[in-house]
Amino acid sequence: MNHQIKNKKLNLSSKHRKAFLRNQALHFIKFGKLESTLARVKEVRRLVEKVVTIAKQGNLFNNRRKVLKMLPYDQDAVLKLFVEIAPNYVNRPGGYTRVNRLGVRINDTAVIGLLSWV
């Protein structure tokens, strides 16, 4: 039974997983797309959806602190999130990103996914 399992382990330790997901989310915010394995893309999507939900409430001090707590490495990406990305989704109740399957990787047959903005 998988009761109260919040996220996938992705075969990483908890510290490594947390840093990995933060870095992938920042990369996605900066460049607008992310290509990786499907499991990793889905986990990054969960984090990005939460961050955008906080950011679309407005560029207030407390909202900025919450997002910086989740994505502390890059202030420029957080600024881009508040100024450029979040205003586009103010009237949208959720589902800011889309995951497309790109096929399988040749060497290990892992399913590859593409995360992009809606």
Reported as a single tens digit per residue, the pLDDT across 71-94 is 999 999 999 999 999 999 999 999
What is the model's pTM?
0.93
* Domain spans of the chain, in order of start: 14-117
CB 38 within 8 A of CB 113: yes
CATH of domain 14-117: 3.90.1030.10
Other Cβ atoms within 10 Å of 57 Cβ, number: 12
48: nearest Cα among 88, 80, 96 = 96
Q: Which residues of 88-115 are buried (b: 16+ CB within 10 A; e: fewer)?
A: ebeeeeeebbeeeeeeeeeeeeeebbeb
The ranges of the chain with pLDDT < 50 are: none
Find where tokens 């989740």 sit: 70
